[in-house]
Amino acid sequence: MKKGGKRTLPAPKEEDVVLFRAEVADATPLGQHGRFLHPFDPPPALPLSRLRDEREVMLESLTDPSHWDESVETGEELVYVRQGISRQVLRKLRKGEWRVQAELDLHGLTRADAKIELVEFLHECFRHGARCVRIIHGKGLGSPNREPVLKQAVRHWLAQREEVLAYVQARPADGGGGAVVVLLKSQP
């Protein structure tokens, strides 16, 4: 050891130097920065245009003109049926004879978010073969002026969807005026 506490290493033996150089003969020297720079692989491209187009199509599909019969109003209960669907289907739907296979709760969502959730939900239900679903839009008790924000919007959006055959207000035990039971087309 030297003065001041610094350590010095003994010089390597000549045969160790020769062995070391033979082992590292194939090595590539580091660049001038003293670090190895890994090759950069760019991340896979995101199809942003396609994703944006799909989202726009989803939103547009809810605002197209309706090809549905006008509603049949009985008190506050709104009932929609697609042209060519028997009124007996409505009766069975109203009585709860169709088993609800999926449910969507839109409480707390904005109109825009609710619209997107509804479209995606209906698409997935149709794709998986669900025929009868319940959509909870709420009664508006927590809304300004205690008026339902989503009730009429959901019913309007449903009437524009091709996969929707009919819907009725849910029975009191299933949500009453705060939900609708929807009958979807069967898959071909």
Domain segments of the chain as ranges: 65-184
**Residue pLDDT tens, the chain, 188 long:** 455 667 788 888 999 889 988 998 888 777 677 677 677 787 787 787 777 777 777 766 655 444 333 344 344 567 888 888 888 888 888 888 899 999 999 988 888 999 999 999 999 998 899 999 999 988 766 666 666 778 888 989 999 999 999 999 998 888 888 899 999 998 76
Q: From the CB of residue 52, how many other CB atoms can be counted at a distance below 10 Å? A: 10
What stretches of 13-131 adopt beta strand conformation (E)? 72-74, 77-81, 102-105
d(CA 132, CA 186): 10
Longest dimension (CA), the chain: 104
Q: Tokens 């794709």 sit at which residue?
A: 127
Edge-first strand order for the sheet with 102-105 is: 72-74, 77-81, 164-169, 179-184, 132-136, 102-105
CATH architecture label of 65-184: 2-Layer Sandwich (3.30)
SS3 56: helix
Check: pTM over 0.85? Answer yes or no: no
